[in-house]
Amino acid sequence: MAKIKVMDEILANKIAAGEVVERCASVVKELVENSIDAKSTEIKVELIESGVKEIKVTDNGTGMDKEDAINCFGRHATSKITDENDLYHIHTLGFRGEALASIASVSKITLTTSTGDIGSIVKINGGKIEKVSKGDARRGTIMCVRDLFYNTPARLKYLKSLYTEMAHITDYMNKLALSHTDIRFTLINDGKILLKTDGSGSLLKVIKCIYGINATKKMVEVSGSNNDYEINGYISLPEIHRSNKNGMITIVNGRIVKNTKVNKCINDAYHSYKPDNYYPIVVLNISVDTTLVDVNVHPTKMDIKFSKIDELTTLIDQMIKDKITKKTLIPHIEEQPIIKERKVYEEFTLDFDTVNESDEEYIINDELINDNPIEYEEEKTSNEDLFDVEVHEDVKEKLPPLYPVGLVHGTYIICQNEKGMYIIDQHAAKERINYEIFKEKLANPSKDKTSMLLPLTLELTNDEFIKLKENFDLLKEMSFDIEEFGMNSIIVKAHPTWIPNDLTNEMINHIIELIINKEKSFSLEKFNDHTAATLACKASIKANTNITIEEMENLISDLRKCDNPFNCPHGRPTTIYYSKSDLEKLFKRSGF
C-alpha cells in the first residue's frame, strides 16, 4: 500500500502558517500590504489586546466581488501574478497567494468587501468557510481576524507579552507610514490611537511623527542616482543615533526590506563620525527596475537580492558622505523642558522570521502611547525651516575661530567667541589630529625611516610567527626594517619617521599585533584606518593632564585644519556648543 499521500489542504495551510504567520505583527503586515496593493488611500488597523484577541483592517481600496471574496482564501490564490514571467516584474507587495490561506487556517475570519456594488460577507473558522452572505455596497474591504492561534495552542503559548506584540506591530506600521506617505494610516489598540498620518506625501512629516521634532531638526535630505538606481530620503546628522539598527530603513520600490550589505554600507558611511556601536536614523527610498531585484527569497518578502549591489552601495556611500562632510557637526546644547518619563514600549529590531528568546517588555517613544491621537499640525513653514545647521563648502573652515580661556579637570578646554561658549575634549581633539596625520602617512608611505639605537626583538608563538611572516611585505611597505631572528622571533631595526620616539616600542608592538590578528578578508584601507585610530589614541593627551593656554591655542589651530574636526576617530564629539542665548536662559537672564 502506498505510504505517500497528498496532504489535506487545511493541514498544508497550517504548516505554511508556520512560515508566514509568526506572530500578530505578521498578520497585520500581510493584511495591510493587501490593502496597499488594492490601491487604498486610507487604511485603519484596530486591535484588541495587541491583536491577540482581534485584528481588524479597514481600507477604501478596490474591493472584491463575491467570487474573489471566496477564492482569495484558497492556497496559492492571487490576482497579482499569472505566469512565470510575472516573477521578474513584481510591482505589488504581495504575490505568493499564501498569506490569507495561512491566516485563515489558524484563526476565525470575517471578510466584508465590495467593489461599490452589492457587497459580500465571508465567515471562516479554522480554514473552513462557514457562511457566505450579502453585505453593504461600501467600496473597500474590512478584514477581521479573531482568536489568532486558537486551534494551535503551542503557537499561542509561544506569543510574548502584549507589550512585545504591540511593539512589533507599531514598528512595522511606522515603517509602512514611511514607505507610503501618500496613504492615511491609523493604528488603534484597545480604543487608543497610537499612530495617525495625514497622507499628504511628506516624508519629513512622518519622520517627525515617529521620531519627534528634535530628531527631525537633525535630519538632512539626500538624493542621488546612477544608471540603475534612483535614491531619495533623509539621513540623520551623526549626533542623532540609536543603539540598534532599527532606525536604518531601506525601501525598495515601496517595499520595506532588510539587506545586510546595504545596512553595512550606510553605517560605514558614518565611520569616525559616530561611535561604532551606535547606528544612524536613515530612511532611503530606492527606485530600481524590477528585473534587477529578486523579492522571491523568503515568505516574509523582507529579504531581497540585488543584481548590481556594488553600484548601489557605492551610490549610497557617496551620497551620505557628500552630505555630512558639508555640515557643521558641533552638537548644540539647548535647554530642554523637563518631561516626566513613562514606561511604554521600547525599541527593538523587527524580525518576522524568528522570535527573539530574550524578548522582554519593550518600550517605544512616549508620543506613540497617548490618550490623544497623534495628528499632524498644519505646517506654516517649509521643510527647510526645520533646519538651522550651517553648511560650509570649505571643509578647512568648518570649525570657527575659538579663543581658549581655561581648562576644567585637566580634560575640557573652555573656549569662547562672539556666538557663545565651546567645550573641547582635549583627548578627543588630539586623537582626531593624530588620526588624520597617521592615516595620511599609512596611506602614502614614504621611504623615510629612523634606525633604532636599540633594535627591538620580539618572541612570538608558532602561529603568530607564521601569520606575521606572511605579512613582512606589508611591514616593509610601511618603512619597517624587519627580519627573522632565530626560532619564532623577529628583530625590528628601523621604523617610519612618523612614529613618535617616546612611543616607538609600544606602537611597533601594537602594529604587529594588528597585523597578526587582521581579518581573512584583508583590506589595506580598513587596516590603515584601524591602525591610525588605535595609534592616535595612544599618542594623544590623556585626561587629567594640564596644558598651558599656548598649548590649547596650538591644539585648536591643528583641529581647525582637520577634514573632520567634530569627532574623534571612534565617533565621540570633540566639541560641544552653548549659544549666548542658551546661557542666558540657563541663568534666567532672558525668557521671562
3-state secondary structure of 112: strand
3-state secondary structure of 197: coil
Q: What are the CA-CA distances from residue 112 to residues 17, 121, 423, 446, 577 (Å)?
A: 22, 5, 63, 76, 58
Q: What is the pLDDT of residue 93?
A: 67
Report how far residue 187's alpha carbon sits from residue 169's, in angstroms, rounded to the nearest whole number: 9
User: Looking at residue 53, what DSSP letter applies?
Assistant: S
CB 145 within 8 A of CB 109: yes
Q: What is the 3-state secondary structure (H, E, C) of 142-154?
A: EEEEECCCCCCHH
How many percent of the chain have pLDDT more than 70? 78
CB 54 within 8 A of CB 47: yes
In b/e form, how buried is each residue of 124-151, taking b as 16+ CB within 10 angstroms? Answer: bbbbeeeeeeebeeebbbbbbbbbbbeb
CB 78 within 8 A of CB 86: no
pLDDT tens-place values along the chain, 592 residues long: 566 666 555 555 554 444 557 788 888 988 998 899 889 999 999 999 988 899 999 999 999 888 888 888 876 656 554 555 545 555 566 555 577 888 888 889 999 999 988 889 999 988 788 889 988 888 999 999 998 887 777 667 667 778 888 888 999 999 999 999 999 999 999 999 999 998 999 999 999 988 888 888 889 999 999 998 999 999 998 888 888 888 899 998 888 888 888 999 999 898 888 887 888 999 999 988 877 877 655 555 566 777 888 899 999 999 998 888 877 777 777 665 544 444 444 444 444 444 444 443 333 343 333 333 334 333 443 444 444 433 334 444 578 899 999 999 989 999 999 989 999 999 999 999 989 988 888 877 777 888 888 888 888 888 888 888 888 888 888 888 888 888 888 899 988 888 877 778 888 888 888 788 776 656 677 777 877 887 788 778 887 888 999 999 999 999 999 988 998 888 889 999 998 888 888 888 765 5
Query: DSSP assignment of 318-377, as one string?
Result: HHHHHHHTTB----B------------PPP----SS---TT-------GGGS-SS---PP
Q: What is the pLDDT of residue 317?
A: 92
405 CA to centre of own chain: 40
Q: Provide the grid cell at 228.
A: 540603475
Q: Provide the grid cell at 444.
A: 602614502
Report how far residue 544's alpha carbon sits from residue 505's, in angstroms, rounded to the nearest whole number: 24
Q: Is the pTM of this model over 0.85?
A: no
Q: Which domains does the chain have, with CATH numbers?
A: 9-159 (3.30.565.10), 203-324 (3.30.230.10), 397-592 (3.30.1540.20)
Report how far residue 214's alpha carbon sits from residue 212's, in angstroms, rounded to the nearest whole number: 6
Q: What is the pLDDT of residue 427?
A: 92
User: Looking at residue 541, what DSSP letter applies?
Assistant: P
Neighbours of 297 (CB within 10 A): 13
Report how far residue 51's alpha carbon sits from residue 163's, in angstroms, rounded to the nearest whole number: 11
CB 28 within 8 A of CB 173: yes
Residue where the block lists cell 591643528: 558
User: Looking at residue 475, what DSSP letter applies?
Assistant: H
- Residue 180's contacts (CB-CB under 8 Å, 6 or more residues apart) are 36, 254
To the nearest 5 percent, what fractions of the chain are helix, strand and coil? Answer: 35, 25, 40
CB 283 within 8 A of CB 233: yes
Residue type, 532: A
Q: What is the 3-state secondary structure (H, E, C) of 412-453?
A: EEEEEECCEEEEEEHHHHHHHHHHHHHHHHHHCCCCCEEEEE
User: Looking at residue 400, what DSSP letter applies?
Assistant: P
Q: What is the pLDDT of residue 337?
A: 54
